[in-house]
Structure 1
Amino acid sequence: MENTIYIEYSFTVLPLQPATDILIAELGEVGFESFVENETGVQAYIQKEEFEEGMMGSIDILKNTDFTISFEKKEIEQENWNATWEANFNPILVGEECSVRAPFHEKPQVTYDIVIEPKMSFGTGHHETTHMMLQMIIDHDFEGKSVLDMGSGTGVLAILAAMKGAANVEAIDIDNWCYHNAVENVERNKVQISVFEGDVSLLNSDKMYDVVLANINRNILINDIPAYAKCLKPNGILFVSGFYEDDIFAISEICNSCGLKFEKNISRNNWVAVKYVF
């Protein structure tokens, strides 16, 4: 892939929530592709060729007086973003069995050693939601299972599922860069995963899964969970994250309407990952 120029918006948000989640959702609707949350807000990225002056005028939360949101804008090349990531990325350990590291890190003594080079994609295990989803996968039997990873980002969740013995794993992400990055990471980890570029419209009843993984924001989950449910086999399992403990009721409500029942959840710094079963 040729080097792409991105527009980076660095947002400072007060208070952080729920404003940050709303901001990310609204930016995603106008074409922003990647987001990196931090202690003061979020950095958002869009390809320069996709950017239009005046986009910020359609982001309603910026006009909401309940929040104070400021931002700075600059151009950034992928290679510069990647260099920043490499300088700040430390390997992580999920439980005692799984590590997520970069190619330049020393190989640890763990059962599941995942090597990720995320570039502009989401999913290194550092964010609470990814970390919890990895923990959910570690705690579940994937041997011989068919698995769908929606909003796959780097592909890290699909990769762990494959490492745990899943027989048929597919990963889908709407972002072109995430698609290419997931393909690279799948090859890097020597696992069998089919990666597709697209969204929930790719799903149909001809393909059924034992497990669906979805680490996506609350609004997308509420909209797309019915489509996930239609693709789950009897006794199938849905693992979801990307939202806060306060949102469990709303997520459970839509799951219940689709025949999915709450089984368990884990939480980390107010973020939550939940397991639902048919």
Structure 2
Amino acid sequence: MTSTEQGRRKYDELADRYEEIFPYVAEVGKLLVEHASPPSGARLLDVGAGRGAVARAALSLGCTVTAVDASQGMVERLACDFPDIEARQMDAGALAFPDASFDVVAAGFVIQVLPDPDVALAEAHRVLVPGGTIALSLEKQSVGRLRWLYELAAEYFGTPVPSDNDEDNGAVSSAQLDALLQAADFTNLATIPVEMPVSLANPPALWDWLTPRGLAEAVNALPAEQAESFRNRFLTQAETMQSNDGIALDFRATLHKAQKPCGQPASI
């Protein structure tokens, strides 16, 4: 399996507000499709399609789009929002399509949440035509100017302060993804970085940004006195951040493109 029941439930719950919580997803989806450069009429499979960031961009270029997601809630919203695409609930590691069904397979911010990314890449390879393109976006772990928040969370919740090195945090790095693509027999790798800072107006806006990401739930689980202490210290340090060049969250990604070799059979 390449997705989990817990993960599916999480994305079912986020389906109605996914792109509001993660506003950079739509822009990176557009950049990923541009990086893939599909010709008009290309058959594109969007794996882990979410609310359709990649599908939307591919449709605008004249692609024929099939979108799959492990979350039924996401699939229902996709079908409603994009009647021109075929939307189906499906696991990334068990694609119910014949060999050589697509010219492009794309996955936006999916590979890093899969417990078995190699299985998903093998499936992508199988359903691509020889010479077909795979395009993936990978979120980069970045502490950046929010190190004070990670240190505050470590003090109150005992969580480790992450490193700015993805591999130190157990996350998939850009180099590791390229290695996985090569191991799956993809060639002609091309990787580019993307920087998408997110600016927030004030400390309450930062709190609201973090609330659906688990902050409110964690704080509410503290004893009342500690919860109040955490909120006060959070707002104080966020105000300091705002006075020092504003509240801007460092968001980074890499876009990866590769090809299934021409003349190769659909399955390896």
* Residues 1:236 and 2:132 are matched in the alignment: yes
CA distance in 2, matches of 1:223, 1:125: 29
The alpha carbon displacement at 1:126 in A equals 4.7
| Mapping for residues 2-17 of structure 1, pairs under 5 Å | none
- 2:6 maps to 31
Structure 1, residues 111-151: CA drift from partner, whole Å, max 9, x if none?
xxxxxxx614x446954454223113235243110100000
CA distance in 1, matches of 2:96, 2:20: 26
* Residues 1:194 and 2:169 are matched in the alignment: no
CA distance in 2, matches of 1:45, 1:125: 12
CA contact (8 A) 2:100 2:130 kept: no
CA distance in 2, matches of 1:171, 1:145: 14
The alpha carbon displacement at 1:208 in A equals 1.7
CA distance in 1, matches of 2:69, 2:48: 4
- 1:40 maps to none
- Rg comparison, structure with higher value: 2
**Aligned-partner SS, 1:31:** helix
The alpha carbon displacement at 1:258 in A equals 1.9
What are structure 1's unaligned runs of at least 5 residues? Answer: 1-27, 35-43, 48-80, 82-117
CA distance in 2, matches of 1:260, 1:233: 12
Question: Which residue identity does 1:208 align to in structure 2?
Answer: S
| Mapping for residues 66-215 of structure 1, pairs under 5 Å | 119-120=16-17, 122-123=18-19, 126-138=22-34, 140-166=37-63, 168-187=64-83, 192-200=84-92, 201-215=94-108
Return the structure number with greater relative CO, CA threshold 8 A, min gap 6: 2
Question: Which residue identity does 2:193 align to in structure 1?
Answer: I
CA distance in 1, matches of 2:39, 2:78: 20
Question: Which residue identity does 1:195 align to in structure 2?
Answer: A
CA contact (8 A) 2:118 2:184 kept: no
Rate the CA distance shift 1:272–1:129 in 2: closer, same or farther, 3 A.
farther
CA distance in 2, matches of 1:143, 1:125: 31
What are structure 2's unaligned runs of at least 5 residues? Answer: 142-165, 167-172, 196-250, 261-268
CA distance in 2, matches of 1:144, 1:46: 31
Question: Which residue identity does 2:45 align to in structure 1?
Answer: L
The alpha carbon displacement at 1:158 in A equals 1.1
Question: Structure 1 vs Structure 2: percent identity of aligned residues?
Answer: 16
Question: Hey, which bits of structure 1, 4+ residues long, moved more than 6 A?
Answer: none
- 1:218 maps to 112
CA distance in 2, matches of 1:124, 1:208: 33
Higher mean Cα deviation, 243-252 or 205-214? 243-252
Structure 1, residues 172-212: CA drift from partner, whole Å, max 9, x if none?
0111110100011103xxxx211101213233434521111
CA distance in 2, matches of 1:125, 1:159: 18
CA contact (8 A) 2:69 2:90 kept: yes
The alpha carbon displacement at 1:234 in A equals 1.7
CA contact (8 A) 1:241 1:272 kept: yes
Structure 1, residues 46-78: CA drift from partner, whole Å, max 9, x if none?
76xxxxxxxxxxxxxxxxxxxxxxxxxxxxxxx
CA distance in 2, matches of 1:263, 1:46: 33
TM-score of the two chains, using structure 1 as the length reference: 0.53
Rate the CA distance shift 1:165–1:124 in 2: closer, same or farther, 3 A.
farther
CA distance in 2, matches of 1:46, 1:132: 22
- 1:252 maps to 178
